[in-house]
Chain A
Amino acid sequence: MEGLIKKALGKGQADYIEVRLEDKAVTSVVYSGRELDSAGANTTKGGNVRALYRGGWGFVSFNSMDQLEAKVAEACKAARLVGRGKSVLAKVPKVNADIRVSLKDDPRNISLAQKVALAKKYNQIIIGSKGIISSGVRYEDVFKKQTFANTEGSCITEERVYCGAAFSAVAKDGANVQRAHDSVGGTEGYHTVLKLEQNAQQTVRDALGLLKAEKVSSGKYTVVMDPKMCGVFAHEAFGHLSEADHISENAKLKKMMTLGRRFGANSLSILDDATIKGQRGHYYYDEEGVASHRNYLIKHGILVGRLHSRQTAGRMNEKATGSARAISYQFGPIVRMGCTYIEPRDCSFQKMIGEIKHGLYVVSALGGMTELEMFTFSAMKAYLIKNGRLGPMVRDVILTGNVFETLKNIDAIGDDLELHGGLGGCGKDGQMPLPVSDGGPHIRVKDVVVGGK
């Protein structure tokens, strides 16, 4: 195959051309309520060619590997329709690499029957619990092998294996219906999804707990975020603003995101690091053949970096960061995150809570929306904090604010660190879900606006 790709690339008429071929197999088991919804496996084989001509990209994707040379010609033709400027790509080393997965417990070696039995066991814990009217359990593993080659002489084959599970529980009392969920996922192997009985039980407890919880009263609170909410904040509120394709298209954002600007206290550092093995957001090379990096975005409170594709890095005269990713062969790479988190410091959870007279401890996020620097996140659950102690659970907690003010208001950073991958992923420009991780320690933020009753 490699020879064929190189031959095809040699015939192209453009400033730069790359070819990416993909093999993928997905096995999933889905329980919905008492019923097994589906269990089975799908396979995909596909590829694409991307060509750059005078600054414009042409892109062609396909399933049939025949006539690779014609696909290259087609991509070049498309690029010629778009290109009207200058091709600029940040310089990166030529790479020849062959990375194969070797896991002790590769999920591909586990039978479908075992996967079904595992999902059934977790589902039974949830649906068999008193007060629970509906459940959802999803198991999924994905094997992906990608071969990349470009006209600069790089040629990389990389395999990745993802494995994870997601739980949901719906509890009902009269007209009061509450939901809770949890998920785990990574690239470490099948053991990621074993021994999750605790997670299933906790999901049940959360749904039942929410039935009894009062709605939170709206107002300003000192908020302690758990590592999951901290991760959502780092990824959604801040991380997307660090993506250079957004920055180069938006003058207002460009001004906001001037390197060297202070964003928080000395203790605050945020990074995107796709090199952490085992994480869902881990990869060796991005979809432009650039090695993943440990990229500091904020260091000691100062904005020091952002995430780049080779084109955005070249145009802004900065270094490529290995952040150009695509969800599949049907898409060209765009600037994305890998594993985004806030670095831990030295404050214990007890001290963080102990110093709060009146506040909220928010745990796990249901979802969120951002519009430039404004964010809105809803927590799965929260607990009131009164005079330094955790109080009763409250629900319908929605945090809103301006990311820059919120970063300045972080006044304590915990000594723990948790990274979270789950089963879903990040969405951008129609590419969803991209496997990512995020997280951090517990953090404390002053003056957070909380919507509620």
Chain B
Amino acid sequence: MNKIIDQILGLAKKKTDAAEVILVEGQESPVDFRSGKLHSVEHKEIKGAGLRVIKNGRIGFSSTTDFGKLQELVDHAEAGAAFGQQAAFKLPAGCKPGGVKTVDPKLEKFTTAQAVAEGNKALGILAKKAPELKCDIGLNKKFHRVSLANSRGFQGQYDKTSFSYGLSGVSIINGSLTFIGQDRRGGKLDLATSEMTARIVKMYDDAQRTAKLSSGKMPVLFAPEAMRLLWMSVAMGVNGKAEQKKTTPLLGRLGEKMLDPRITITDDPLLPLGLSSAPFDDEGVCGAKLELFHRGVFKNFIYDLQTAGILGKRSTGHGSRSFSTQPSPQVSNLVIAAGQTKLAQIIRNMDSGLILYDLLGAGQSNIAAGDFSVNIGLGYKVEKGKITGRVKDAMVAGNVYDMLKNRVLEISSETEDKGPYRTPAMLFDGMNVTAK
């Protein structure tokens, strides 16, 4: 299928018992604006190969971007196998890939000059409607081709496009530094400049007033961007590696009602133009839709080959890696089922509470256990169904599993793609909020 892969496999077969090669060829064109000015235009090409071998039952790995030294690549992988982990799996011989759209032809045609023009358009809107904001903008178009083959006969290849678009502004409002941002990431060209700038302008206007806040328990609405914190935690919880290392609160809870019955979470590697969509995973296992939680009931952990082998399970097609690292389990696209109520209606029905957009310091919390205590980067007070101002110097704390099981009041009927998560907004009851 590919000369380089054939060459590497040929060399590896002579010295090892099994071998697998991943070849990634890609390019990206990031365009960056800083403080309202075009800062840089770049073009990055990457071509690298990773070789995993099994010899005497042990795993060896090496990677390279130097295609003049393929024998060295094989020697390194073989040397590593003398000390590597025991392989608990056989490489897959093949599978039938599910059909999935991973290339957006419109994105392929999108030029750097168009990206510069789009950034300038966004700057123009914001300069008029939110003049105090100092804006940074990043647009990045990526293309890559993944080729994978192993010594048992698997051969596969696919092309993939992705696009990211971030708009953020900073300003000192009422004496404190305020960051306001919007971003889009996915497999398709998503030039949502008008929508993103309109949202930033609304958040900027709402931030001109500061709301009074006293500590206590209150309903808190997590906008889709804030829901990322919760899904990050759940993604760690369902990871087979965490099951293996016994670091997940979901250990031994398969079949149990762990979340609110309104919550269904599906992992979908076949989502059309999803950020993490692919016809097969990075080990050559074909994935399909997999329900992780069905009406609150915990249904599945996700596995790669090695983790599944150690636990006596089958890979779910979630082996994820770059060419320079060994695979580990990773969720693909998480699709969270929408609710019944329009977001605007949820806000109108709120008597007194908060809406959160941006949370800071998530890295400091014990996210694996679901516990978090974070500063509110951008959040607003809601009173009698209306936003009354920005909340400053406040924290919110809780446990993700407790929230998703016991505290769900509302789930919005709209969902948004936030990176690998397609998520609604959710309103939680009795959240602990501390005003400093």
Instruction: Show the binding face of A for B, using Cβ within 8 Å.
Output: 23, 29, 35-36, 38-46, 56-64, 74-75, 78-79, 81-82, 84, 112-113, 116, 249, 330, 332
Contacts of B112 in A (CB 8 A): 78, 81
- Given A42-B62, A82-B38, A61:B44 Cβ within 8 A: yes
Contacts of A79 in B (CB 8 A): 41
Contacts of B77 in A (CB 8 A): 40
Contacts of B39 in A (CB 8 A): 82
Contact check, A42 vs B38: say whether CB atoms are below 8 A apart.
no
Contact check, B64 vs A81: say whether CB atoms are below 8 A apart.
no
Contact check, A38 vs B80: say whether CB atoms are below 8 A apart.
yes
Contacts of B65 in A (CB 8 A): 43-46, 63
| B72 adjacent to chain A (CB < 8 Å) | yes
12 further A-B contacts with Cβ under 8 Å, apart from A40-B61, A46-B65, are A23-B66, A40-B84, A41-B80, A42-B76, A44-B48, A58-B40, A58-B42, A63-B65, A64-B67, A74-B43, A81-B41, A82-B39
Contact check, A60 vs B44: say whether CB atoms are below 8 A apart.
yes
Distance of A69 Cα from B44 Cα, bound (Å): 16
One digit per residue, 1 when the CB lies within 8 angstroms of any chain A CB and 0 when it does not, for chain B 44-67 equals 111110000000000011111111
- Given A56-B38, A63-B45, A63-B47, A113:B82 Cβ within 8 A: yes
- Given A44-B64, A56-B38, A112:B43 Cβ within 8 A: no
Contacts of A116 in B (CB 8 A): 83
Closest to A79 in B: B41
Contact check, A38 vs B45: say whether CB atoms are below 8 A apart.
no
Contact check, A78 vs B79: say whether CB atoms are below 8 A apart.
no
Instruction: Show the binding face of B for A, using Cβ within 8 Å.
Output: 34-35, 38-48, 60-69, 72-73, 76-77, 79-80, 82-85, 112-113, 116, 324, 326
Distance of A84 Cα from B84 Cα, bound (Å): 54
Q: Would you give the shortest CB distance from B37 to chain A, in whole angstroms?
A: 9
Distance of A448 Cα from B67 Cα, bound (Å): 55
Contact check, B84 vs A39: say whether CB atoms are below 8 A apart.
yes
Q: Would you give the shortest CB distance from B160 to chain A, in whole angstroms?
A: 18
Contact residues of B: prevailing secondary structure: mixed
Contacts of B67 in A (CB 8 A): 64
Distance of A78 Cα from B30 Cα, bound (Å): 11
The 6 closest A-B pairs by CB, nearest first: A40-B80, A45-B66, A78-B41, A39-B83, A62-B45, A63-B65
Contact residues of A: prevailing secondary structure: strand
Contact check, A82 vs B40: say whether CB atoms are below 8 A apart.
yes
Q: Would you give the shortest CB distance from B29 to chain A, in whole angstroms?
A: 9
Contact check, A57 vs B73: say whether CB atoms are below 8 A apart.
no
Contact check, B41 vs A58: say whether CB atoms are below 8 A apart.
yes
Distance of A60 Cα from B61 Cα, bound (Å): 29
Contact check, B44 vs A81: say whether CB atoms are below 8 A apart.
no
Closest to A36 in B: B83
Distance of A63 Cα from B23 Cα, bound (Å): 13
Contact check, B66 vs A38: say whether CB atoms are below 8 A apart.
no
Contact check, A63 vs B62: say whether CB atoms are below 8 A apart.
no
Closest to B32 in A: A82
Q: Would you give the shortest CB distance from A409 to chain B, in whole angstroms?
A: 26
Contacts of A46 in B (CB 8 A): 65
- Given A43-B64, A82-B40, A64:B69 Cβ within 8 A: no
Distance of A59 Cα from B40 Cα, bound (Å): 8
Q: Would you give the shortest CB distance from A37 to chain B, in whole angstroms?
A: 8
Contacts of A45 in B (CB 8 A): 64-66, 68-69
- Given A36-B83, A39-B80, A43-B72, A81:B46 Cβ within 8 A: no
Contacts of B42 in A (CB 8 A): 58-61, 78, 332
Contacts of A58 in B (CB 8 A): 40-42
Q: List 7 A-B contacts (CB under 8 A).
A: A42-B62, A43-B62, A44-B64, A58-B42, A79-B41, A82-B39, A113-B82
Q: Would you give the shortest CB distance from A274 to chain B, in whole angstroms?
A: 25
Closest to A27 in B: B76
Distance of A43 Cα from B64 Cα, bound (Å): 5
Closest to A74 in B: B43
Contacts of B82 in A (CB 8 A): 112-113
Q: Would you give the shortest CB distance from B53 to chain A, in whole angstroms?
A: 10
Contacts of B40 in A (CB 8 A): 56-59, 82, 332
Distance of A44 Cα from B50 Cα, bound (Å): 11
Contacts of A61 in B (CB 8 A): 42-45
Q: Would you give the shortest CB distance from B244 to chain A, in whole angstroms?
A: 12
Distance of A64 Cα from B42 Cα, bound (Å): 17
Contact check, A112 vs B83: say whether CB atoms are below 8 A apart.
yes
